[in-house]
Amino acid sequence: MKTPITFTLNGEEAAVFVDPGGNLLDVLRRGCGDLSPKYGCGQGGCGACTVMIDGEAHIACLTLAETVAGRRVDTAGGLADGPDLHPLQIAFMEGFAAQCGYCTPGMLMAAKALLDRNPNPTRAEVDEAISGNLCRCTGYEPIIDAILEAAKHRGAA
């Protein structure tokens, strides 16, 4: 039996019916049409589906959809403010921190969760924050550089 739930998705109200045991990734992608979180493993190993729930990074594929009822969910699809990109997005673009782009939305959300709670992270803290996110293209260094770069920008802004 499906359960109706409502939650806030990227600042707007979302209302969906979810299957018992249904995971947040499916609900976001198919129920809400937000395709920015990606399926990579379905078992919490790759981080491609990382979203923020009430400001904290979570793995959407391992989150029961019903548990987000009434909470705030943010995805990479809502990171930009209209046409204005988030500093992380700009830093990823300019720092060549994405190649195939499949891990990027999850990386961005893991990074945003970090910068929101720690605006001036050390390199080690950035390492730690994205340690649950796999990337097969970049070798991680450009991603770490981009996150540090974005932190610098946000600090200056």
Report the interface residues with another protein, using CB under 8 A: 29-30, 33-43, 45-46, 48, 75-77, 79-80, 85, 88-89, 92-94, 96, 98-105, 108, 134-137, 141
For residues 53 and 68, the answer to whether their CB atoms sit within 8 Å is: yes
Question: Which residues, listed in sequence order, are joined to residue 93 by a DSSP beta bridge?
Answer: none
Q: How far is the CB of 34 from another protein (least distance, A)?
A: 8
Q: What span, in angstroms and rounded, lies between the C-alpha atoms of 68 and 82? A: 25
Q: Please report where in the chains the tokens 């399926």 appear, as a residue.
A: 39
Q: What span, in angstroms and rounded, lies between the C-alpha atoms of 151 and 64? A: 32
Closer of 19 and 125 to another protein (Cβ): 19
Closer of 46 and 57 to another protein (Cβ): 46
Closer of 32 and 68 to another protein (Cβ): 32
